Structures are given as structure tokens and as C-alpha cells.
Amino acid sequence: MDPAASDDRRRRRLLIATVAGGLALLLLVGVGIYGLVRGPASAGTAPGERPSTTASATASPTSGGELEPLRQNLGPEAFARAVATALFTWDTASGHAPSDYAQVLADVAHGSEADAFVGDVRAYLPTMEAWGQLRPYATRQWLTIDIAVVPEAWDTAVAQAAPGQIPDGAIAYTIGGTRHRDGTWDTTPVEASRPVAFTVFLVCTPPTPGSGAGSGSCEVLRLSELDDPLR
């Protein structure tokens, strides 16, 4: 293994243990890209929320086993969808902790924004205290995605940015969909869902000639605040 890559992976794992959730301000492309500049201000998943007593959803993730790493050679839109899915998918009965789900995302962070991105991810996930409150109800969460589009605000920012303000290969996708949760209240299956929207900021390298359209590599720069995406 490349020693530099190994050191980078160890550094990212250290970030999971040390970043406390405070978000560094990022002056990347100015006020126009407010979601990237600000990052999430608070946990968007309402970690302490208990599910409402409605019918349990039929489409849901399975629990158990090792968490799959994110493939980075899917192409920009598919990778943004994979990041969004990983961000919202967790199961308190799986034997994993919030830090395990965060690590999957930290492993695909761009080095220049890894610290801030880990803070972004923590704002979307339950705290350990909330996790302990949700575990007795076997609470799990997942996301269904309806749209993944490059917002007009991003195109405008790219057109107006000075040279060097935006990294080569950077792109933004605004994700719209529905966040689902289910669990068991006493012995009754319960479910809750609500619409969500947010923006994933990526940097991708194009595929090499002759290697296929999906063989380029992508990393995550930042996340917007939940329900405050670029449009």
C-alpha cells in the first residue's frame, strides 16, 4: 500500500475521534455558495425524535454485517447519490455506532476539507446519547432519493468565480428525497418520514482515455445544511 495513502487513511480515522462537531468556516467561492461556506448548523435528523405510530414501511435497509465502503469511481451524480444514501442510512440494532457510519463517509473525504466534512457528517448523525435512546426501539433510518441535480446557483458561482477559487473538478448536486425511520414502540411497529433536501459538494477527476465513463474518482468536499440546499 502507498505509505502516503495509508497515512491519509489513519489521519481521517483520527478525525472521527477528535472532531467535536464544530464547523470551520470555508471561504471557497464566496457568499453565493452559502451551503458550502456554512455547512450544517445543527443535527438535521432530530436524533432524539421517536417514531410516530403509523404503519411500518416495507422498503428498508437490512441490518448486520460489515459496512460497505463507498465506491468512488461511479461518476459524479452516482457518487453524490451514494454519499447521500450513506449519510442517512443507519440501524441502531446493527451493532455499529454512529462513528462507524461516519467513518464510511470520512474515508471518501477530500483531504483539503476532511476536518470540516467530518463536522458536517456529525451534524447529520445522532449523538451517542441519542443513539442510546433510540436503540431500545430498534430504530433505523434510510433515504429514498427523488432528484439529484446540479443547482443553478452552482453554475452561477462557477461562472463568476475568480481563477483558483473553485477546485478543478468540483461540482455540486442538490439531493431531494424522503427520510424514513422505523422501529418498535412496545410491541407495535411504527414509522415516520419527512421530505429532506441538501447539497453535496464533490471534487472529481475525469476518467482516463479508454478506461470507461465511470472510472474517474470522486471525493467529498462539504455538505450543505440540511433543508437549506443550493437551488
Q: Give me the helix-helix angle, 114-124 and 3-18, nearest 10°.
A: 40
Do 215 and 73 form a contact (C-beta atoms < 8 A)?
A: yes
* Cα separation, 224 vs 81, whole angstroms: 15
pLDDT value of position 45: 37
pLDDT value of position 184: 95
Q: Is 22 exposed, middle or buried (0-12, 13-18, 19+ CB in 10 A)?
A: exposed
* Intervals of the chain under pLDDT 50: 10-11, 14-60, 62
Long-range contacts of 77-81 (CB under 8 A, 24+ apart): 77/148, 77/173, 78/214, 79/202, 79/204, 79/218, 80/148, 80/173, 80/175, 80/200, 80/202, 81/145, 81/148, 81/173, 81/175
pLDDT tens digit string along 49-92? 433 333 333 334 545 578 999 999 999 999 999 999 999 999 99
Return the domain boundaries, the chain: 3-48+71-223
Residue 144 is inside which H or E element, if any? strand 140-149
Coil, strand, or helix at residue 79? Answer: helix
Residue 199's nearest CA partner among 29, 57, 50 is 29
